[in-house]
Structure 1
Amino acid sequence: MGQLSDRKCQTAKPGDKVVKLSDGNGLQLWVMPTGAKLWRLAYRYDAKQKLLAIGAYPTLSLASARGKRDDARKLLADGKDPNAQKKLDKAARITANANTFSALADDYLAKMKRSQRAETTISKVGWLLNHARPSIGSRPISEIEPVEVLAVLQPIEAAGKLETASRVRETIGTVFRHAIQTARAKADPTQALRGAIATPKAKPRAAITEPVAFGGLLRAIDGFVGQPTTKCALQLAALLACRPGELRHAAWVEFDMEGCVWSIPAERMKMRRPHRVPLPTQAIAILKALHLITGHRAAGLVLPGLRSAHRPISENTMNGALRRLGYSQDEATAHGFRSTFSTLANESGKWNPDAIERHLAHIESNDVRRAYARGEHWEERVQLMAWWADYCDALRLGGKVLRFKAAV
C-alpha cells in the first residue's frame, strides 16, 4: 500500500541533499535541494540496480506516477527493461512526428517521378493531395483517423464537387498504402470511408459518333478562326485519335515524316509503354504546314503555348476552341475524338477490333487474352488510319454516308 499522500507530496521540504520519499514498490519522490520534486522508480533488471525517471510533481500527480510504476512493473514481468522501452517509445515518437502526411505525400510524388510517370499525372496527383495538406499535412500519418480524412472530404462534397471529392479520397489512400508498404503506417483510414460521401454519377466524355454530325464538326474545325496551332491540334486529334495529352506534349523529334510514323516514348503514355502511330498523308500535310510555324523553336514542341515556347498548349485550349465553334461540353471534347474513331471504325466492320484497340493504346483487361494479343497489328493499323483519314475527308465534304452493316 502506498506510503505517500497528496498532502505529503505537497508539503515535502527540500534539504541540503536530495530527500527521497518512498511510496512502495520502488516508486520514490525525490525532493531536490532546488525545491524541484521528481518521480523516480528504482528497480532491478538483469541483476543490476537501475533507476527510471518518470516525471515531475505536481505536473505528474501521485495517482499518475503510481500508474506509470505499475506499467513499468508489467514490463519487468514480461522480461523487458523499462528504460530501454522508454528509449524505444521516444524514438517511435520522433519517427512518427517526422513521418507526417505531407512528408509521405512528397515521398510518394518523388516515387512517381522515379518511376517516370507523366508530369501531367504527377501534377494532378499533387493538386489532389493539396486539398488534404492544410488539415492533416502536419499530422503523423500513423495517427490519422478516418474522421480527420472525412473532414477533408466533406467541404468538397458540400461544394458539389463529387468527382473531386472521390478522387481526393482515392489519392489520400494511395499515400497511406505507400506508408504501409514502407513500414510507416499500419492502416489506411480511407478504406473505412467507402460510401461516406456521395458517389459521382459516371459521365462518359462527350463525343459525336453520328457520321453526318461528325462531318459537320470537321467542317467547323476547318473554318476555325484563331491560333493556327489550335486549329492544327483539333485537326490532328480528329485524324489520329490520340489522347489530348499525348498530342499536346508531342515533340518534333518524335515524328518520322518520311516513314510516316509518330513514335511516342513510354514516359508520355498513360500505360507507360512506347507507342507508334501511323501517319496518313492528310496528317503529314498538316504537320508540314505546322512545322513552318513551330518547327524551328528551341524547345522543339509541336504545339507550344502562346506564353512560353517551353510549355505546350493546354487541354482547355482545345476544349475552349470547341466551345467557340458552338459545341458545348456535353456535345464534344478533345478526348471525345477517340470515342468517335472507335465507334465508327468498329461499326464499319472492316477492321479487327484488336487493331483498333491497339491503335488507341488500350490494354486488354483479360489477363489470358492479353497474354496472346501481343502483336501491334501494325500493317492493319497503317491501312486503318489511311481509311479513317479518307473517311473523315468524305464526311467533311458532306459526301454520301453509307450505313455500315453489322459485323458478322
Structure 2
Amino acid sequence: MPLTDVQVRNAKASAAPYKLTDGNGMFLLVQPNGAKYWRFSYRFLGKQKTLALGVYPAVSLATARKKRDEAREQIAAGVDPGEAKKDAKRAAEIAAANSFEAVAREWYDSQRPGWSNGYAEKVLNSLEVDVFPKIGPRPIAEIDSPQMLSIVREVEARGVRETAKRILQRSRAVFQYGIMTGRCSRNPAADIDAQTVLKKGPGVQHMARVKATEIPQLMRDIDAYQGDLVTRLALRLMALTFVRTTEMIRAEWSEFDEAAAEWRVPPERMKMRDPHIVLT
C-alpha cells in the first residue's frame, strides 16, 4: 500500500532503523534519532543501488514521489540516476568555482598583499555592492559586454562616474585573471571604452599653486585663522612638512617620535608605498 502523509508524519523512532515502503522502489528510512530519509532502491546494469531523494519534512511525500518517477524515467532511458546526480553535483561545484565572484575573490586575494588596508577595502566593497549582486553567481565565461555595460551605466546613473570607471577597470582585471587561470577565454570588460559609453564628467579641477612670494602672507593667514584649532595646526604642519592632505588627516600619534624629532609615515599611507620620514 502506498504511504499517506499521516503515516509519514506519525512515524516514530525505534531502537533500530526501519523502512516504510511506498512502492516502485521508494521507501522512508526512519532512524533511531527520529530523522526520516527518502530513498529509492533500483537496479542498473545488474547492480542494486540506492538513490537519496531528500530529508522529510523538507522534502514532502509528493515531492519524493516526483523525484522517484524522474529517476525511473532516467533508468528507462539508459541513464543511471545516481551517477547523473553525482555529475550534476560536480558540474555545480565547477560552475561555483568558475563564477565571476569566485574568480574575483581569487584575484583580490592575489593582489591584496600589495595594497593598503584602505584601498583593499574600497576595491572589495565596490565589487560586493555593484557587481556581485548582478553577475557574481554566473560562470565568468558566460558574461558578455552588454551585461558589463549595464552594470557600469547603472552605477553612473547614481551620479558617481568615477566609481563606474573604477568598477570597469577592476572588472577588466578580474576577467584578465580569469583568462590567465583558464576560466574564460575573453575579456568582455576590455571591449567597453569608458570615454565612449559614459557621459563626460566635469574633469578634475586642480587648485592653483602658491607662489613663493605668496607664502609669507599664507602663513600669516593661517596664524590668523579663527576656526578650529586642530585645523589651524594641521595647516601649519602641512606648510612645514609638505605632506599630502590624506597623510596629514590620517596621522596617528604612534608615528611621531619626539626624542628623534621624526614623523614616520608608514608605507601603506604613502602614494608610492614607500615609508617616509619627515621632521628630521
Task: Give the alignment's TM-score, normalised by structure 2.
Answer: 0.59
| Structure 1: distance between partners of 2:101 and 2:221 | 47
Q: CA 1:217/1:183 → structure 2, altered by over 3 Å: closer, same or farther?
A: farther
Partner of 1:190: 189
Partner of 2:229: 228
What SS is found at the alignment partner of 2:74?
strand
Partner of 1:274: 275
| Displacement after TM superposition at 1:178 (Å) | 3.3
For 2:246, the aligned partner's letter is G
Contact in 2 for aligned 1:254/1:262 (Cα 8 Å): yes
Gaps of 5+ in 2: 1-23, 25-41, 44-67
| Structure 2: distance between partners of 1:39 and 1:232 | 81
61, 69, 74: which one pairs with 1:38?
74
| Structure 2: distance between partners of 1:120 and 1:241 | 22
Partner of 1:177: 176
| Structure 1: distance between partners of 2:117 and 2:162 | 21
For CA contacts below 8 A with separation 6 or more, give which structure has more relative contact order: 1
Contact in 2 for aligned 1:208/1:214 (Cα 8 Å): no
| Structure 1: distance between partners of 2:176 and 2:233 | 42
| Displacement after TM superposition at 1:154 (Å) | 1.1
What SS is found at the alignment partner of 2:197?
coil
Q: Report 1:85-124 matches (<5 A).
A: 87=87, 91-113=90-112, 115-124=113-122
Bigger CA radius of gyration: 1
How many pairs are equivalent? 210
Partner of 1:126: 124
| Displacement after TM superposition at 1:271 (Å) | 2.4
Between Structure 1 and Structure 2, the one with more strand by share is: 2
| Displacement after TM superposition at 1:121 (Å) | 1.1
Percent same amino acid at aligned positions? Answer: 31
Partner of 2:153: 154
Q: Report 1:193-342 matches (<5 A).
A: 193-194=192-193, 195-198=196-199, 200=201, 202-211=203-212, 215-277=216-278, 279=279
For 1:177, the aligned partner's letter is Q
What SS is found at the alignment partner of 1:263?
strand
| Structure 2: distance between partners of 1:99 and 1:34 | 32
Contact in 2 for aligned 1:96/1:142 (Cα 8 Å): no
Q: CA 1:187/1:231 → structure 2, altered by over 3 Å: closer, same or farther?
A: farther
| Structure 2: distance between partners of 1:102 and 1:226 | 47
Q: CA RMSD in A?
A: 3.7
What SS is found at the alignment partner of 1:122?
helix
| Structure 1: distance between partners of 2:218 and 2:76 | 83
Task: Give the alignment's TM-score, normalised by structure 1.
Answer: 0.43
| Structure 2: distance between partners of 1:205 and 1:256 | 33
